[in-house]
Protein backbone atom coordinates (compact mmCIF):
# COMPACT_ATOMS: atom_id res chain seq x y z
CA UNK A 1 0.00 0.00 0.00
CA UNK A 2 1.48 3.39 -0.93
CA UNK A 3 2.39 5.87 1.76
CA UNK A 4 2.44 9.57 1.06
CA UNK A 5 2.84 11.04 -2.43
CA UNK A 6 6.14 12.49 -3.64
CA UNK A 7 6.49 16.13 -2.65
CA UNK A 8 6.84 18.66 -5.44
CA UNK A 9 5.99 22.25 -4.42
CA UNK A 10 4.87 24.76 -7.02
CA UNK A 11 6.26 28.30 -7.24
CA UNK A 12 4.31 30.88 -5.29
CA UNK A 13 2.17 28.42 -3.35
CA UNK A 14 1.34 29.06 0.33
CA UNK A 15 3.34 27.26 2.97
CA UNK A 16 0.25 26.31 4.95
CA UNK A 17 -3.53 26.54 4.79
CA UNK A 18 -6.71 25.81 6.71
CA UNK A 19 -9.07 22.95 5.93
CA UNK A 20 -12.58 23.91 7.03
CA UNK A 21 -14.42 20.65 7.71
CA UNK A 22 -18.12 20.74 6.79
CA UNK A 23 -18.98 17.03 6.96
CA UNK A 24 -20.99 16.99 10.19
CA UNK A 25 -23.21 19.79 8.88
CA UNK A 26 -23.12 20.05 5.09
CA UNK A 27 -22.38 16.37 4.67
CA UNK A 28 -25.02 14.89 6.94
CA UNK A 29 -27.77 17.36 6.05
CA UNK A 30 -28.10 15.68 2.65
CA UNK A 31 -28.59 12.18 4.05
CA UNK A 32 -31.98 10.55 3.48
CA UNK A 33 -31.87 8.87 6.89
CA UNK A 34 -31.46 10.61 10.22
CA UNK A 35 -27.98 10.00 11.64
CA UNK A 36 -28.08 9.42 15.43
CA UNK A 37 -26.69 12.13 17.71
CA UNK A 38 -24.18 9.65 19.14
CA UNK A 39 -22.73 9.04 15.68
CA UNK A 40 -22.54 12.76 14.93
CA UNK A 41 -20.72 13.42 18.20
CA UNK A 42 -18.25 10.62 17.61
CA UNK A 43 -17.66 11.88 14.07
CA UNK A 44 -16.87 15.37 15.31
CA UNK A 45 -14.56 14.02 17.99
CA UNK A 46 -12.76 11.74 15.52
CA UNK A 47 -12.25 14.68 13.16
CA UNK A 48 -10.75 16.74 15.95
CA UNK A 49 -8.47 13.85 16.78
CA UNK A 50 -7.35 13.75 13.14
CA UNK A 51 -6.07 17.32 13.46
CA UNK A 52 -8.87 19.43 12.06
CA UNK A 53 -8.99 22.84 13.75
CA UNK A 54 -12.32 24.01 12.28
CA UNK A 55 -15.30 21.63 12.28
CA UNK A 56 -18.73 22.94 11.35
CA UNK A 57 -20.81 21.06 13.87
CA UNK A 58 -24.44 21.58 12.87
CA UNK A 59 -27.06 24.03 11.64
CA UNK A 60 -29.81 25.81 13.54
CA UNK A 61 -32.14 25.75 10.58
CA UNK A 62 -35.85 25.08 11.03
CA UNK A 63 -36.32 21.32 11.60
CA UNK A 64 -39.13 21.30 9.05
CA UNK A 65 -36.62 22.40 6.37
CA UNK A 66 -33.76 20.08 7.30
CA UNK A 67 -35.00 17.33 9.65
CA UNK A 68 -31.56 15.69 9.52
CA UNK A 69 -30.27 18.57 11.70
CA UNK A 70 -33.25 18.91 14.03
CA UNK A 71 -30.98 17.69 16.83
CA UNK A 72 -28.71 20.77 16.80
CA UNK A 73 -29.21 21.50 20.50
CA UNK A 74 -28.41 17.91 21.46
CA UNK A 75 -25.27 17.93 19.34
CA UNK A 76 -24.02 21.14 20.94
CA UNK A 77 -24.87 19.85 24.42
CA UNK A 78 -22.88 16.66 23.87
CA UNK A 79 -19.94 18.25 22.07
CA UNK A 80 -16.56 17.45 23.58
CA UNK A 81 -14.59 20.56 22.74
CA UNK A 82 -10.89 20.14 22.06
CA UNK A 83 -8.40 22.90 22.79
CA UNK A 84 -7.51 24.82 19.66
CA UNK A 85 -10.53 23.58 17.68
CA UNK A 86 -13.34 25.88 16.51
CA UNK A 87 -16.90 24.54 16.16
CA UNK A 88 -18.92 26.98 14.03
CA UNK A 89 -22.61 26.42 13.34
CA UNK A 90 -24.87 27.63 10.54
CA UNK A 91 -27.51 30.19 11.58
CA UNK A 92 -29.75 31.05 8.61
CA UNK A 93 -31.83 33.66 10.45
CA UNK A 94 -32.22 35.51 13.76
CA UNK A 95 -34.21 32.68 15.29
CA UNK A 96 -31.40 30.30 14.40
CA UNK A 97 -28.84 32.64 15.95
CA UNK A 98 -30.80 32.88 19.20
CA UNK A 99 -31.04 29.09 19.37
CA UNK A 100 -27.31 28.74 18.64
CA UNK A 101 -26.30 31.25 21.31
CA UNK A 102 -28.54 29.55 23.85
CA UNK A 103 -26.88 26.24 22.96
CA UNK A 104 -23.40 27.66 23.57
CA UNK A 105 -22.17 28.37 20.05
CA UNK A 106 -19.28 30.83 19.85
CA UNK A 107 -18.91 31.03 16.06
CA UNK A 108 -21.61 31.15 13.39
CA UNK A 109 -22.12 31.26 9.65
CA UNK A 110 -24.79 32.81 7.41
CA UNK A 111 -25.52 32.23 3.74
CA UNK A 112 -26.79 34.31 0.83
CA UNK A 113 -27.43 33.17 -2.74
CA UNK A 114 -25.70 34.75 -5.72
CA UNK A 115 -28.81 34.01 -7.80
CA UNK A 116 -32.45 35.00 -7.54
CA UNK A 117 -33.88 31.55 -8.25
CA UNK A 118 -31.92 29.77 -5.55
CA UNK A 119 -32.77 32.54 -3.06
CA UNK A 120 -36.43 31.96 -3.89
CA UNK A 121 -36.28 28.17 -3.66
CA UNK A 122 -33.97 27.97 -0.63
CA UNK A 123 -35.09 30.92 1.49
CA UNK A 124 -38.39 31.86 -0.14
CA UNK A 125 -37.08 35.37 -0.79
CA UNK A 126 -34.96 37.44 -3.19
CA UNK A 127 -31.19 37.98 -3.16
CA UNK A 128 -31.71 41.34 -1.47
CA UNK A 129 -34.22 39.74 0.86
CA UNK A 130 -31.67 37.09 1.82
CA UNK A 131 -29.12 39.80 2.54
CA UNK A 132 -31.72 41.61 4.67
CA UNK A 133 -32.15 38.38 6.67
CA UNK A 134 -28.40 37.84 7.04
CA UNK A 135 -27.47 41.42 8.00
CA UNK A 136 -29.09 41.51 11.46
CA UNK A 137 -27.79 38.02 12.20
CA UNK A 138 -24.25 39.19 11.45
CA UNK A 139 -24.73 42.35 13.49
CA UNK A 140 -26.21 40.58 16.50
CA UNK A 141 -23.54 37.87 16.42
CA UNK A 142 -20.72 40.42 16.28
CA UNK A 143 -22.28 42.36 19.16
CA UNK A 144 -21.97 39.16 21.19
CA UNK A 145 -18.32 38.80 20.17
CA UNK A 146 -18.96 35.85 17.85
CA UNK A 147 -16.90 35.31 14.74
CA UNK A 148 -19.08 35.19 11.62
CA UNK A 149 -18.51 33.46 8.29
CA UNK A 150 -20.50 34.32 5.18
CA UNK A 151 -21.36 31.72 2.54
CA UNK A 152 -22.15 32.69 -1.05
CA UNK A 153 -24.27 29.91 -2.56
CA UNK A 154 -24.43 29.30 -6.33
CA UNK A 155 -21.31 31.38 -6.88
CA UNK A 156 -20.27 29.60 -10.09
CA UNK A 157 -23.45 28.21 -11.62
CA UNK A 158 -27.13 27.69 -10.89
CA UNK A 159 -29.21 24.64 -11.90
CA UNK A 160 -32.13 26.84 -12.94
CA UNK A 161 -30.41 29.99 -14.22
CA UNK A 162 -27.27 28.44 -15.67
CA UNK A 163 -24.27 30.76 -15.90
CA UNK A 164 -23.67 33.12 -12.99
CA UNK A 165 -21.99 36.45 -13.75
CA UNK A 166 -18.83 36.80 -11.60
CA UNK A 167 -20.02 40.30 -10.73
CA UNK A 168 -23.07 38.80 -9.01
CA UNK A 169 -20.91 36.57 -6.85
CA UNK A 170 -18.47 39.36 -6.10
CA UNK A 171 -21.28 41.75 -5.15
CA UNK A 172 -22.70 39.35 -2.57
CA UNK A 173 -19.21 38.58 -1.21
CA UNK A 174 -18.42 42.27 -0.87
CA UNK A 175 -21.66 42.98 0.99
CA UNK A 176 -21.07 40.12 3.42
CA UNK A 177 -17.52 41.33 4.02
CA UNK A 178 -18.70 44.91 4.56
CA UNK A 179 -21.22 43.68 7.15
CA UNK A 180 -18.37 42.18 9.16
CA UNK A 181 -17.90 38.58 8.07
CA UNK A 182 -14.40 37.45 9.02
CA UNK A 183 -14.33 35.04 6.08
CA UNK A 184 -16.43 34.77 2.94
CA UNK A 185 -16.73 31.28 1.44
CA UNK A 186 -17.55 31.14 -2.28
CA UNK A 187 -19.67 28.09 -3.06
CA UNK A 188 -19.63 26.09 -6.27
CA UNK A 189 -22.84 24.50 -5.06
CA UNK A 190 -23.47 22.34 -8.13
CA UNK A 191 -19.81 21.71 -9.00
CA UNK A 192 -19.80 23.23 -12.49
CA UNK A 193 -16.82 25.54 -11.96
CA UNK A 194 -13.55 25.13 -13.84
CA UNK A 195 -10.07 26.49 -12.99
CA UNK A 196 -10.20 29.48 -15.30
CA UNK A 197 -13.61 30.44 -14.00
CA UNK A 198 -12.42 30.12 -10.40
CA UNK A 199 -9.59 32.54 -11.05
CA UNK A 200 -11.87 35.03 -12.81
CA UNK A 201 -14.36 34.93 -9.94
CA UNK A 202 -11.57 35.40 -7.40
CA UNK A 203 -10.11 38.30 -9.36
CA UNK A 204 -13.56 39.92 -9.52
CA UNK A 205 -14.06 39.45 -5.78
CA UNK A 206 -10.62 40.89 -5.02
CA UNK A 207 -11.42 43.92 -7.20
CA UNK A 208 -14.28 44.80 -4.82
CA UNK A 209 -11.79 45.16 -1.97
CA UNK A 210 -12.30 41.78 -0.32
CA UNK A 211 -8.81 40.40 0.53
CA UNK A 212 -8.32 36.88 -0.80
CA UNK A 213 -6.71 36.09 2.56
CA UNK A 214 -10.28 36.30 3.91
CA UNK A 215 -11.88 34.28 1.11
CA UNK A 216 -12.48 30.53 1.22
CA UNK A 217 -13.60 28.15 -1.52
CA UNK A 218 -16.42 25.63 -1.04
CA UNK A 219 -16.12 23.26 -3.99
CA UNK A 220 -18.29 20.35 -5.08
CA UNK A 221 -16.96 17.53 -7.25
CA UNK A 222 -20.03 16.96 -9.43
CA UNK A 223 -18.01 17.20 -12.65
CA UNK A 224 -14.70 16.02 -11.17
CA UNK A 225 -13.26 19.55 -11.09
CA UNK A 226 -12.89 20.16 -7.35
CA UNK A 227 -9.15 19.49 -6.98
CA UNK A 228 -8.31 21.35 -10.19
CA UNK A 229 -10.29 24.27 -8.81
CA UNK A 230 -8.43 24.04 -5.49
CA UNK A 231 -5.17 24.39 -7.40
CA UNK A 232 -6.54 27.44 -9.20
CA UNK A 233 -7.53 28.91 -5.86
CA UNK A 234 -4.08 28.22 -4.40
CA UNK A 235 -2.45 29.97 -7.34
CA UNK A 236 -4.73 32.97 -6.78
CA UNK A 237 -3.82 33.23 -3.09
CA UNK A 238 -6.67 31.44 -1.28
CA UNK A 239 -5.56 29.64 1.89
CA UNK A 240 -8.83 28.22 3.24
CA UNK A 241 -10.77 25.39 1.61
CA UNK A 242 -13.97 23.67 2.69
CA UNK A 243 -14.07 19.89 2.56
CA UNK A 244 -16.21 17.03 3.84
CA UNK A 245 -14.91 13.84 5.38
CA UNK A 246 -15.21 11.03 2.86
CA UNK A 247 -16.81 13.40 0.34
CA UNK A 248 -20.26 12.95 1.86
CA UNK A 249 -23.06 15.42 1.34
CA UNK A 250 -24.35 17.95 -1.10
CA UNK A 251 -27.09 20.56 -1.12
CA UNK A 252 -30.61 19.22 -0.53
CA UNK A 253 -32.07 22.35 -2.15
CA UNK A 254 -30.05 22.24 -5.38
CA UNK A 255 -31.14 19.98 -8.22
CA UNK A 256 -28.38 17.50 -9.17
CA UNK A 257 -25.93 18.76 -6.54
CA UNK A 258 -23.60 15.94 -5.54
CA UNK A 259 -21.02 15.58 -2.84
CA UNK A 260 -18.49 17.99 -1.49
CA UNK A 261 -14.78 17.82 -2.07
CA UNK A 262 -13.50 14.94 0.08
CA UNK A 263 -11.19 16.00 2.89
CA UNK A 264 -8.91 13.03 2.20
CA UNK A 265 -8.60 13.83 -1.51
CA UNK A 266 -7.67 17.41 -0.65
CA UNK A 267 -5.09 16.28 1.91
CA UNK A 268 -3.44 13.87 -0.55
CA UNK A 269 -2.96 16.70 -3.04
CA UNK A 270 -1.70 19.10 -0.38
CA UNK A 271 0.81 16.48 0.79
CA UNK A 272 2.09 16.16 -2.76
CA UNK A 273 2.52 19.93 -2.94
CA UNK A 274 4.26 20.08 0.43
CA UNK A 275 1.65 22.46 1.88
CA UNK A 276 1.23 22.14 5.65
CA UNK A 277 -2.30 21.42 6.90
CA UNK A 278 -1.86 19.61 10.20
CA UNK A 279 -4.10 16.65 9.38
CA UNK A 280 -3.48 12.94 9.88
CA UNK A 281 -4.51 11.27 6.63
CA UNK A 282 -4.60 7.76 8.10
CA UNK A 283 -6.94 8.92 10.87
CA UNK A 284 -9.17 10.65 8.33
CA UNK A 285 -9.38 7.51 6.21
CA UNK A 286 -10.29 5.40 9.25
CA UNK A 287 -12.96 7.93 10.19
CA UNK A 288 -14.47 7.96 6.70
CA UNK A 289 -14.55 4.15 6.58
CA UNK A 290 -16.25 4.13 9.99
CA UNK A 291 -18.78 6.73 8.82
CA UNK A 292 -19.44 4.82 5.59
CA UNK A 293 -20.40 1.78 7.66
CA UNK A 294 -22.95 3.86 9.56
CA UNK A 295 -24.31 5.35 6.32
CA UNK A 296 -24.51 1.94 4.67
CA UNK A 297 -22.51 2.73 1.54
CA UNK A 298 -18.87 3.15 0.43
CA UNK A 299 -17.16 6.51 0.84
CA UNK A 300 -17.20 8.62 -2.37
CA UNK A 301 -13.60 9.67 -1.68
CA UNK A 302 -11.08 8.28 -4.19
CA UNK A 303 -8.29 8.42 -1.61
CA UNK A 304 -10.34 6.58 1.00
CA UNK A 305 -11.08 3.86 -1.57
CA UNK A 306 -7.42 3.65 -2.59
CA UNK A 307 -6.01 3.50 0.93
CA UNK A 308 -8.73 1.31 2.43
**For residue 212, how many other CB atoms are within 10 A of its CB?**
17
Nearest C-alpha neighbor of 241 from the set 304, 183, 308, 161: 183
- Say if CB 289 and CB 50 are below 8 A apart: no
- Say if CB 283 and CB 51 are below 8 A apart: yes
**For residue 64, how many other CB atoms are within 10 A of its CB?**
7
**Distance separating alpha carbons of residues 187 and 155, to the nearest angstrom:** 5
**Distance separating alpha carbons of residues 144 and 280, to the nearest angstrom:** 34
Helix axes 127-143, 166-179, angle to 10 degrees: 30
Coil, helix or strand at residue 136: helix
Pick the catalytic residue: 251, 291, 292, 295?
251
For this structure, is 181 an active site residue? no
Nearest C-alpha neighbor of 14 from the set 259, 275, 247: 275
- Say if CB 241 and CB 19 are below 8 A apart: yes
**Distance separating alpha carbons of residues 27 and 294, to the nearest angstrom:** 13
Q: Which residues are catalytic?
A: 251
Amino acid sequence: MPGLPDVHPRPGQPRALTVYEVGPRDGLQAEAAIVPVSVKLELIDRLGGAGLTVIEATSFVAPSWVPQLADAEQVMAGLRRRAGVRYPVLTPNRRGLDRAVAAGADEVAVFVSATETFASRNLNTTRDGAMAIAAPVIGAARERGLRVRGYVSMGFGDPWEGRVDPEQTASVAARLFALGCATVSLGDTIGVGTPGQVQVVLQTVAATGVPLSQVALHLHDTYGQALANVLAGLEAGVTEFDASTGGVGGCPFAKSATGNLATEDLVWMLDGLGIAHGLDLSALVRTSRWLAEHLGRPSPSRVVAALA
